[in-house]
Amino acid sequence: MVKRTSMDKAPCPIARSLDAIGDWWSLLIVREAFGNVRRFNEFQKRLGLAKNILAARLRDLVAEGILEMQPASDGSAYQEYVLTKKGRRLVTVMIALWQWGEENLFEPGEVPTRLLDKETRQPLRKLQLQTADGHPVRPSDIMIGAPAPVPELRARK
Amino acid sequence: MVKRTSMDKAPCPIARSLDAIGDWWSLLIVREAFGNVRRFNEFQKRLGLAKNILAARLRDLVAEGILEMQPASDGSAYQEYVLTKKGRRLVTVMIALWQWGEENLFEPGEVPTRLLDKETRQPLRKLQLQTADGHPVRPSDIMIGAPAPVPELRARK
DNA sequence: CCGTATCCATTCCGATACTG
DNA sequence: CAGTATCGGAATGGATACGG
């Protein structure tokens, strides 16, 4: 996506994820898609980005299998962009980003847009790391279980 | 960070988060920092990025308060980069990305680097969305609790 | 309404080369 | 070792203008 040294073959899931959705607009588009935005123009208005960029991003997201195109639900002749199952699974990433931003990037006076449980209208519980058997885990309790984070397979020509 | 229309004043936490760490290398650097990488050269070797880029990214991350510089622990004359508390809180974001990538971006035959609980050496439990009172939440059960996702119009009154 | 095609400015990345 | 100084190429992003 971003030229770089494309890490889509790296064994590190983070590198791959970033390769897939690590550019700036992708996750914002996904965020809107979660909010049931489906139409090109709707995305464009809400995000305020140029149409060519939006078109490119949507194309990429469709190619990645995160969005898919469907016939319009309102009978118009156009297509709509909706999240695939894979795309919907990004919800955890979004929430993680949301909660981190909420906690670390707002001044006392500022009010972030909140994310709520639809039923109770209460904020969600913060995501928590847990061991397989359900115990809490601190950042320092984590280790990487394989050779190298970013191997040199993508070394040099 | 990526020029754009800098959204660091947007009320949406995702936009702000992306503004802070949404570019390509930042999270990879943070990932290494979680793995106790602290030295300039160490980052450079492991990530394989150009030194000027690395320098710029490190500078930004320090400016954001995600990394901080400390005197070297081994007595050498240099500084080390270590995660701040704010930086360490990014662990949830990293895990979310890690788990999503692991689940969605690897072919059956491929083996991702795993992330383990240090004590048991078992993979972590998948992050789960929950309501404030601990019930599971599906993506469709979520709503946004404020005016507009990216409202420039509700700027300041 | 949904895009594609252009043009242009900015930024990013990679690869040296060069100091302290 | 830890950067800074450059340079060029690629890609991003913004703003229209133009077709389906």
* pLDDT tens per residue, range A108-147: 989 888 889 988 888 999 999 999 889 999 998 998 875 3
Neighbours of B115 (CB within 10 A): 22
Give the single-character DSSP code of B157: -
Which tens digits make up the pLDDT trace of A16-38?
999 899 888 899 999 999 999 99
Q: What is residue B107's predicted lDDT score, i.e. its pLDDT?
A: 93
Chain B residues touching A32 at Cβ < 8 A: 149
* CA-closest candidate to residue A29, choices A63, A58, A70, A69: A58
Alpha carbon B38 to its chain centroid, in Å, reads 16
Q: With beta carbons less than 8 A apart as the criterion, state whether A142 and B118 touch.
A: yes
DSSP bridge pairs for A71? A79
Contact B13 A106 (CB under 8 A): yes
Which member of A16, A111, A145 has the closest CB to residue B116?
Answer: A145
> Parallel, antiparallel, or unpaired for β A67-71 and B79-83?
unpaired
Q: What is the pLDDT of residue A8?
A: 66
pLDDT confidence of residue B1: 43
Position A135 scores a pLDDT of 92
Residue B120 CA to D1 C1' — how many Å? 37
How far lies B140's CA from each of A96, A106, A118, B5, B112, in Å?
A: 17, 26, 8, 30, 29
Q: Is residue B22 predicted with pLDDT exceeding 80?
A: yes
pTM, rounded to two decimals: 0.88
Q: Which residues of B touch A124 (CB under 8 A)?
A: 129-132, 137, 142
